Amino acid sequence: MFFRQYFLGCLSHASYLVGDETTGRAVVVDPQRDIDAYLADADEAGLTIEKVIETHFHADFLSGHLELAAKTGAEICYGEAADADFPITHLRDGDTVPLGDVALEIRTTPGHTPESISVIVREHAGDDVPYGVLTGDTLFIGDVGRPDLLSSEGVTADELARQLYHSLRGKLMTLPDDTRVFPAHGAGSACGKNLSTETSSTIGEQRRTNYALKPMSEEAFVQVVTEGQPTTPLYFSFDAHRNREAHALLDEHAPPPALELDEVMARRAAGAVVVDTRQHPEFAAGHLAGSLNVGLEGRFAEYAGDVLRPDDEIVLVCDPGHALEAKVRLARIGFDNVTGFLADPVRAFLDRPDLVVRSSRLTADELAERLRTIRDVAIVDVRNPGEAAEGMITGAINIPVARLLDRIGELDPARPTVVYCAGGYRSSIAASSLVAGGFDDVSDVLGGYEGWRNRHQ
């Protein structure tokens, strides 16, 4: 058997290539949108990708099923409750997908979504103990899939949580304890609230350690899995719908075109959003007025999806050689309208200093002084609610980055505004978004809340 996990850290996403080396038949499960790694590994191992199996319609990334089908001719497979705008093969509970001696068994496991399935992998078709189970977003390491993402679609969190309770106990926990567990996400994903940094486990270990699998009633389970979930990123609804649709394919090798400064400014004047992907200290030292700062060093696509709209035209400012990376990472969440990048930003900034501004960044002591000497300062905590619950600067309002666009009307553009997060990455995103939105006086806090707490609490 050929079995390989691909873990994409910036989205906490795991996908899988599974094949039979004797027959050369293979499948890819839950692929990311840029597919070269699967194609290269399949070619090296002498495998032909015959199927793309999606455990459900993903909300946190745009999947690569269309790209893989176009490249390989593979059929796209979903659970029997799935409905899509492109041809799919439905996999039903108990179906077997033979690859040779290697065989896959499908189990319907609704709960995270109605169409969710899990894929049991047997190295030999008759093995009593499977090699593993690909659980999608039904079962994570240390957690289970959140059931509240489809509440806006007419399916309640309560209904899905009850389905999840029975899927876990009736379909997954019936597997032998030695069965390996391979989920679709790890720590950092907003698809659950307590995901482990580990990327695999076993059924037995999860039975012993996973809070959601402890003996409890259905009512208790519903309560525990629906409370305390992280803020849903703004783009999740877009991706959940986009994954059902036929759409243009990604060319992961074609960089966006280089643009001179005049063209960048003309596009911005026409409504394009300039996204500066440099690290926040560099952005603070000098950037094009009105640009957003979402650094490539962090969870770039996820946070870009919080402060951009899917149909925005995007022009990039990047360190040399990173424009293609930024384009591909945005494409992983379906933000495809990247029309170019600024050629040689350093030269452009030197040639046109009149277009360049600095960000206001305050130390904890400078913030304390501002609060003493300036009336009516608005303080915005852009951390998630769980972080804010552990302590906030007195007088702050908690608006997570993922809610900033929706709640910007709660803030007064004329008030001096100070933004903070945990360390500076998210506050730079939020502060630049507020400035681009017309706020007159915006600063963010160096060292974030920890820096403030160490000095003033």
> Using one digit for the tens of pLDDT, what is the confidence trace for 5-35?
999 999 999 999 999 999 999 999 999 999 9
Does residue 191 carry a catalytic annotation?
no
pTM of the model: 0.94
Confidence at residue 81, expressed as pLDDT on a 0 to 100 scale: 95
- Taking alpha carbons only, the member of 23, 126, 102, 9 closest to residue 61 is 9
Confidence at residue 85, expressed as pLDDT on a 0 to 100 scale: 96
Is the pLDDT at 152 greater than 90? The verdict is no
- Taking alpha carbons only, the member of 416, 417, 421, 415 closest to residue 398 is 421
Instruction: Please report which confidence band the pLDDT of residue 316 belongs to, taking 50, 70 and 90 as the band edges.
Output: very high
Residues 375 and 350 occupy one common structural domain: no
Domain annotation covers residue 373:
yes
- Taking alpha carbons only, the member of 412, 422, 280 closest to residue 359 is 280
Residues 187 and 96 occupy one common structural domain: yes
Contact 128, 176 (CB under 8 A): yes
Please give the Cα distance from 11 to 34 (Å, whole number): 13
Residues 204 and 129 occupy one common structural domain: yes
CA 424 to chain centre: 20
Please, which residues have CB within 8 angstroms of residue 332's CB and are 6 or more apart in sequence?
A: 8, 11, 32, 33, 34, 61, 62, 301
Residues 152 and 183 occupy one common structural domain: yes
- Taking alpha carbons only, the member of 438, 389, 391 closest to residue 415 is 438
Please give the Cα distance from 248 to 328 (Å, whole number): 14
Confidence at residue 151, expressed as pLDDT on a 0 to 100 scale: 56
Is the pLDDT at 369 greater than 60? The verdict is yes
Confidence at residue 48, expressed as pLDDT on a 0 to 100 scale: 98
Print the domain residue range for 344: 258-357
Domain annotation covers residue 103:
yes
Residues 131 and 56 occupy one common structural domain: yes
Confidence at residue 98, expressed as pLDDT on a 0 to 100 scale: 97
Instruction: Please report which confidence band the pLDDT of residue 233 belongs to, taking 50, 70 and 90 as the band edges.
Output: confident
Residues 307 and 402 occupy one common structural domain: no
Which candidate in 77, 191, 318, 421 is catalytic?
421
- Taking alpha carbons only, the member of 155, 207, 222 closest to residue 177 is 207
Count of residues making up the chain: 457
Residue 341 tokens read as 């990048």
Instruction: Please report which confidence band the pLDDT of residue 318 belongs to, taking 50, 70 and 90 as the band edges.
Output: very high
Domain-terminating residue out of 242, 272, 295 = 242
Mean pLDDT lowest among 37-46, 66-75, 212-221, 222-231: 222-231
pLDDT (mean) for 331-355: 97
Could you tell me what percent of the chain has a pLDDT over 90?
Answer: 89
Number of domains in the chain: 3
pLDDT (mean) for 325-337: 98
Please give the Cα distance from 51 to 38 (Å, whole number): 12
- Taking alpha carbons only, the member of 92, 236, 90, 219 closest to residue 153 is 236
452 forms beta bridges with none
Number of neighbouring beta carbons within 10 Å of residue 156: 14
One-letter amino acid of 31? P
Residues 171 and 66 occupy one common structural domain: yes
Is the pLDDT at 153 greater than 70? The verdict is no
Alpha carbon distances (Å) from 264 to 296, 314, 350, 378:
20, 10, 16, 33
CATH number at residue 13: 3.60.15.10
Domain annotation covers residue 45:
yes
Tell me the pLDDT of the chain averaged across its residues. Answer: 95
Residues 51 and 187 occupy one common structural domain: yes
Please, which residues have CB within 8 angstroms of residue 214's CB and are 6 or more apart in sequence?
A: none
Name the CA dihedral angle for 302, 308, 312, 316, rounded to a multiple of 10 degrees: -70
Domain annotation covers residue 447:
yes
Is the pLDDT at 393 greater than 90? The verdict is yes
Domain-terminating residue out of 300, 328, 357 = 357
Residues 231 and 312 occupy one common structural domain: no
Please give the Cα distance from 236 to 305 (Å, whole number): 8
Confidence at residue 411, expressed as pLDDT on a 0 to 100 scale: 96
Instruction: Please report which confidence band the pLDDT of residue 332 belongs to, taking 50, 70 and 90 as the band edges.
Output: very high
Confidence at residue 249, expressed as pLDDT on a 0 to 100 scale: 98
Confidence at residue 376, expressed as pLDDT on a 0 to 100 scale: 92
Domain annotation covers residue 334:
yes
Mean pLDDT lowest among 185-199, 213-227, 360-374: 185-199
Residues 175 and 126 occupy one common structural domain: yes
Q: What is the pLDDT of residues 250-309, one digit of tens each?
A: 999 999 999 999 999 999 999 999 999 999 999 999 999 999 999 999 899 999 999 999
Is the pLDDT at 109 greater than 90? The verdict is yes
Residue 91 tokens read as 């996999």
Residue 107 tokens read as 């189990």
- Taking alpha carbons only, the member of 434, 415, 431, 416 closest to residue 369 is 416
Q: What is the pLDDT of residues 56-92, one digit of tens each?
A: 999 999 999 999 999 999 999 999 999 999 999 999 9
Residues 175 and 105 occupy one common structural domain: yes
Residues 69 and 212 occupy one common structural domain: yes
